[in-house]
Amino acid sequence: MSSVDLKPAQVHPAFQWKRSERIDSLNITIEEYAHIKTGAAHYHLSADNNENVFLVALRTVPTDSTGVAHMLEHTALCGSERFPVRDPFFMMIRRSLNTFMNAFTSSDWTAYPFASQNRKDFDNLMDVYLDAVFFSRLHELDFAQEGHRFEFETPNDPESDLVYKGVVFNEMKGAMSSPVSTLWQTVTEHLFPTTTYHYNSGGEPENIPDLSYQQLKDFYKVHYHPSNSVFMTFGDIPAIQHHEVFEEKALSRFEKLDMQIKVDDETRYTEPHNFASSYAFDEEDTKGKTHIVISWLLGRSTSLQEMLQAHLMSSVLLDNSASPLQKALETTDLGASPSPLCGLEDSNLEMSFMCGLEASEAVHADAIEKLVLDVLEDVVNNGVDQSQVDAVLHQLELGQREIGGDGYPYGMQLILGGLSAAIHRGDPIAVMNLEPVLEQLREDIKDPDFIKNLVKKNLLDNQHRIRLIMTPDTNLSKAKEKAEADNLAEIKAKLSADEKQQIVEQAAALEKRQNEEDDISILPKVGLEDVPAKMQIPTGTSKSLGDLDATFFDQGTNGLIYQQIIIDLPDIDKELVNLLPLYTYCLTELGCGDKDYLQSQAWQDAVSGGVGSYTSVRGSIDNEQNIKAHFVFSGKALARNHQQLNELMSEMLENARFDELERIRELVSQKRARREQSVTGQGHSLAMTAASSGMSPAAELSHRLSGLQGIKQLKELDDSLDADDALKNLAEKFKNIHQHILSAPRKYLTIAEKDHQNELEKDIQTFWSGKGNSEQSEFNLPEVKHQVKQAWLTSTQVNFSAKSYPTVSVNHEDAAALSVLGGFLRNGFLHRVIREQGGAYGGGASHEPSNACFRFFSYRDPRLAETLNDFDKSIEWLLNEEHTELQVEESILGVIGSMDKPGSPAGEAKQAFHNELYGRTPAQRHLYRERVLKVTVEDLKRVGEKYLKPENASVAVVTNPANEETVKELGLEIHNL
């Protein structure tokens, strides 16, 4: 069908329709428009989907590392012309049934996206977002709050030390505590010597205070203009209806900008360059903590052909353990595991390819570089097996067809996939419609020299190559703190009495503003009357296939099938329980039957979209001390490969090999590296898990397996594996666990379109009959009820704090009120005191009924004891102040929004099945939802008084060694991570 045939029946007079294209593999039609007066681009992804998505993006091209684009993203959401309240963004989160609301700063764009299934809500959010982006107030006090400001350590005392405060300042201190973030930033700084990617668009903490309020406003004036914008929408609202709103609420007030903001091509190196750098590391032992990365600058990402060729090349080299470069990096003894930066980066104007090792030593840099170049030379001379190339194309096709939506809304995923091309004035429609280019690639790879030539052109003959050695520095944290303190002392020494008074007055003005009650009635809202009557929960059909218990869900999966084997976790020794996360990680990374792990990995890529395994442990709906546990073996594939998927999964599960000891050693090292890197990004979750670990058996296990205790145990295990027979003993323990699991009772879950049901049921009978069901011992854990007081010390410039209180399971009549209380405390108190006043990136509270606990948290927080104190003050505020039912309604909307949030077709089916496994039937979930809708102010006060008693609180914090004395004073037990 031609583009003209797809032309919409009506086009808004302010817009020019440019073309339409149907993409059958995604079930969408993409329409491209331009706003006639300003040139603003709009791409509408028309779909039969009521979860409508909106995004407006601006090209933001910083020329320094002050974080101007990032600070602007924060400040733009702090009030606008039509909505002059202090915090419309966070206020709308609680007055909405959104399924997604956020804002992003990337290296060369800033985007403001949201999604909702409710039309009234969608229109409300559109109103607020358009005004926030194009008519932002940019109040100076908002810049001080969100960006950076001076304050005296003791308020109103100009003689006390001067300190920096600000949300973005602390957010980036947290972000740059991560070695991987520092590594990425340093690599791109050297790979792009002259363009915007040379700088940290989020802001470097030492540069952020250099940004002035006037510079922020100047940047806004140029960059936040419709001529510099890209609009993208998805869903069943016609484009003309969006255009009416765009024009009326924003675009009609602008003329065309007489300049074009863009990123220039990078100046190319004529020879490879080597660089060395360091990162802050607060432990004494620096052995094996060096990162070594080699990176190349490739062609433009706006050329779809070049981009997909680069993806093909990258995947052939790195896709799995059988890929030549990945294999070399995993098996070398020059480092513990491949760098987390390995792969292709295609979001910038020009792509980059990176590879290297972590947990290495600087002296190995030359050897690592030689290892990489030797592999590339070998590929250029000898090529790769054709089956590997076919498998990569198979993965690209599978990725094109799969309907996501379990993390971001599906429409948001599609939009973000095309955004970079739109920002760089390429063709986002071509980027989303991969099928024609995949067809071309299928032809291209028939030439045996095709991959050889790609590697030669992009890598071996490409002189724009850098090598970075990044070593740990145990003095860097203290040096940075001292430099900041010395700088502040120098600034303070030069302050006049008037300037000191101005700082005191600004702090007072900001505090006054933060404590003011805004007239939020000017903001649009949805109410309880707009909440759908019921949740949409898919239902499956269960049947016995001989001796097999199988459930099938008919879902619109766009030609994919999903399959799970759910096995009752048997009772195993405590020592083996601690190994469960490692066992499930290794299981699908090892060989099976007569295949070694390399052959097994290649087989997975050739016929499936991946196979994985995990364990699940949850408390019952009536008593958190009673647990049920399962082992889940999961896979997916294109429907045409249904038999191959079952053959693969059967062989991997039934004939898993635990004799590949060196492979197990590599996997443990890789797992350790990933877990250690997770702390600075997931510190609040880890702190909450630790604080709640005394509440229930499942909570204690979570802390022990996947929490801070689990990370510590993994480090100790990894360090112990060099001893004689240690690896062999570990493999024997894996084998022991596996034998128990193989003999336990099991169920089968399949998800696909209806016409595949019979085929899948035959597969189950063919490949799985007569397996399992002989062992009946159920996994159990002793009751857990005790207080926790812990401080975990690690390398971080910011803190993560948590408090937890024992409560009730989901079926208890108080559970609904406790779930509403979390949002109520965040909206009414915690957001203001922890984020706005305290300067943390985030803070809040939530109820976790599976473990019967109510948890407070703060994220990337400059404070520690004060935040723990603020958690207590929020309870006093709840019990002692007067509150309105409107405040309760806002929190109820948040809970209902998260309960009703759609997932992918497969994800929703899996969730329904697994909920039912643990007693969370549709009837139980609807009852809980009805209880949530009826919660009152009195209910909140009652449960707050009943459960949130100071003497029952457990505490856990993640902080740095410099705070050791502080946490001792708080009575916390010290743990070194």
Task: For residue range 953-964, list pLDDT tens digits in order.
Answer: 999 999 999 899
Question: What's the average model confidence in pLDDT over 435-456?
Answer: 92
- C-alpha Rg value of the chain to the nearest Å: 28
Model confidence at 951: pLDDT above 60:
yes
Cα-flanking dihedrals φ and ψ of residue 153, to 5°?
A: -55, -40
Domain holding 915, by residue range, is: 789-976
* Residue 387 included in any domain: no
Q: To which residue do tokens 């979570």 refer?
A: 702
- Model pLDDT for residues 477-491, shown as the tens digit of each residue: 889 989 999 999 999
Only one residue has tokens 């229109």, namely 123
Q: Are strands 954-959 and 789-793 parallel, antiparallel or unpaired?
A: parallel
Number of other residues whose CB lies within 10 A of the CB of residue 138: 18
Q: Is 449 exposed, middle or buried (0-12, 13-18, 19+ CB in 10 A)?
A: exposed
Q: Per residue in 733-762, is it b (16+ CB within 10 Å) or e — as a string?
A: bbebbbebbbbbebbbbbbbbeebbebbbe
Evaluate whether residue 968 is within a structural domain: yes
Is beta strand 973-976 parallel, antiparallel or unpaired with respect to 789-793?
Answer: parallel
Whether residue 883 lies inside any domain: the answer is: yes
Q: pLDDT grade, residue 137 (50/70/90)? A: very high
CA distance 940 to 818: 7
pLDDT, residue 223, reads: 97
Q: Tell me the backbone φ, ψ of residue 164, rounded to 5 degrees.
A: -90, 140
| Mode of pairing for the β-strands spanning 746-752 and 548-554 | parallel
Instruction: Quote the pLDDT of residue 3.
Output: 66
Looking at the domain assignment, is residue 719 inside a domain? no
**Is 714 inside any structural domain?**
no
Mean of pLDDT values over 572-592: 95
- Residue 51: pLDDT band with limits 50, 70, 90: very high
Lowest mean pLDDT among 177-181, 541-545, 575-579, 644-648: 177-181
What pLDDT, on a 0 to 100 scale, did the predictor assign at position 139?
94
- For 604-616, b/e burial (b = at least 16 CB within 10 A) is bbbbbbebebebe
Q: Global pTM?
A: 0.92
- Give pLDDT tens digits for 181-209: 999 999 999 999 999 999 999 999 999 99
pLDDT at 1 over 60: no
State the Cα–Cα distance between residues 819 and 316, nearest whole angstrom: 47
pLDDT per residue as tens digits for the range 651-676: 999 999 999 999 999 999 999 988 98
Residue-wise pLDDT for 258-272, tens only, equals 999 999 999 999 999
Nearest to 902 by CA among 428, 538, 638: 538
Residue 4 has pLDDT above 70, yes or no: no
| 512 lies in some domain | no
Residue 72 inside a domain? The answer is no
Provide the 3-class DSSP secondary structure of residue 458.
helix
pLDDT at residue 2 above 70? no
Whether 346 is in a domain gets the answer no
Query: For residue 331, how far is the Cα from the chain centroid?
Result: 29
Q: Which residues pair with 764 in a beta bridge?
A: none
Q: Among 199, 205, 141, 201, which residue's Cα sits nearest to residue 169?
A: 205
From start to end of 238-394, where are the E strands?
Answer: 273-280, 290-300, 335-338, 343-345, 350-360
Predicted confidence band at 283 (pLDDT cuts at 50, 70, 90)?
Answer: confident
Residue type, 708: L
- Cα gap 403→916, rounded to integer Å: 24
pLDDT in tens, 503-513: 999 999 988 98
pLDDT grade, residue 400 (50/70/90)? confident
CB 118 within 8 A of CB 51: no
Higher pLDDT, 680 or 465: 465
| CATH classification of the domain holding 905 | 3.30.830.10
**Per-residue tokens: 303:** 């050329």
Domain count of the chain?
1
The encoded tokens of residue 830 equal 């915690």
Q: How does the average pLDDT of the chain come out, rounded?
A: 94
- The predicted model gives 859-888 an average pLDDT of 95
Are β-strands 229-235 and 41-46 bridged in parallel, bridged antiparallel, or unpaired?
A: parallel
In whole angstroms, give the CA distance from residue 438 to residue 177.
40
SS3 549: strand
Q: Confidence class of residue 518 from pLDDT cuts 50, 70 and 90?
A: confident
Indicate the range of 36-50, 206-220, 287-301, 423-437 predicted with least confidence. Answer: 423-437
One-letter-per-residue 3-state SS of 49-106: CCCEEEEEEEECCCCCCCCHHHHHHHHHCCCECCCCCCCHHHHHHCCCCCCEECCEEC
With beta carbons less than 8 A apart as the criterion, state whether 591 and 745 touch.
no
CA atoms of 758 and 539, how far apart (whole Å): 18
Please give the Cα distance from 629 to 566 (Å, whole number).
Answer: 10
Query: Residue 242 in 3-state DSSP?
Result: helix
Angle of CA points 239, 244, 247, to nearest 5°? 115
